[in-house]
Amino acid sequence: MSKLRVNNFSISLDGYGAGPRQSTAEPLGVGGEALHDWFVKTRTFKQLYGQEGGETGADDALAARMWDNVGAWIMGRNMFGPVRGAWPDESWRGWWGENPPYHVDVFVLTHHTREPTAMEGGTTFFFVTDGIHAALERAKASAKGKDIVLGGGVSTIRQYLQASLIDEMHLAVSPLLLGSGEHLLYGLDLPALGYEKKRYEGTPNAAHYVLTKKRRSFVTCTGS
C-alpha cells in the first residue's frame, strides 16, 4: 500500500524551510540554500548528479532513503519553478535540466492549467489544478503500490500536514538561523493532527527527526 512520505526536508533551527525574498537567483530565498549543506556533502547527492566521492555515514544513509520504493512524486508549483500566475508558455521545464532526477511521474500543484511535460529518463510532469486530494489520488494510481514522495515546498507540505495525509516525514534541522522566510510548522498542532516522533539521529551536520502518523487503536466492546 502506498505511503505519502516527506524525505530530506531541511529546516533551520528557527523552523524555516526557505529563506526570505525567493527569486530565480535565490530559489530557496536568501540563506535557504545553506539549509541543505548536510545533503550536498553526501555520497547520495554526488551520485545523483553524476559526481564521485561524498560522505558516507548517518547523513548519507538517511538521504538515500528518499529513493527507496518510490513510484511517484508530488510537489508545489514553487518547487517546480519561479513562474507565477498563468503560464505564459511551456518553455520552463523545471530546475533540473532535460533529465530530472525523479524518473517517475511528478504531479505539480497549480491553479493554472498546462499540458503534461515529458522529460528524459522517464520523468513526466503533470499539472494538477483540483487540489491536494486529487493530486494524491493521481499519484497513488501512478505509483501502483509504491510510495509517493512529497517534495515541497513549505506551503505544499503544510497543506498535506493540515489534512493529516502525510504518513512519514523526515526533517533535517540544519544548525543555522534564518530569522524569516517560510516557516514549516508555525500554528500546526502536530500531536492533535496525529503525529509523533519515531526516530532521532544527530550528526555534526544536522539533527534528523522522523515523524510518523499514529495508528488509531480500536477497542471492541462486547455486551453480556
**pLDDT (tens digit per residue) in 109-154:** 999 999 999 999 999 999 999 999 999 999 999 999 999 999 989 9
CA-based R_g, the chain, Å? 18
Mean of the per-residue pLDDT values of the chain: 93
Q: What is residue 181's predicted lDDT score, i.e. its pLDDT?
A: 95
pTM: 0.92
CA 87 → CA 111, 128, 131, distances in Å? 10, 13, 18
pLDDT at 216 over 70: no
As given in the structure block, the three cell numbers for residue 53 are 566521492
Residues 59-107 pLDDT 10s: 999 999 999 999 999 999 989 998 889 999 999 999 999 999 999 999 9
By C-alpha distance, which of 210, 193, 112, 200 is closest to 159? 193
* Residues whose CB falls within 8 Å of the CB of residue 64, separated by 6 or more in sequence, listed in order: 42, 44
Q: Is 198 helix (H, G, I), strand (E, B) or coil?
A: strand
What length does the chain have? 224
| 40-to-4, 35, 44, 59, 181 alpha-carbon distances in Å | 24, 10, 8, 10, 21
Give the residue extent of every domain in the chain: 4-86+96-213
pLDDT tens digits, one per residue of 171-183: 999 999 999 999 9
Burial class from Cβ neighbours inside 10 Å (0-12, 13-18, 19+) for residue 190 reads: middle
Fold of 4-86+96-213: Dihydrofolate Reductase, subunit A (3.40.430)
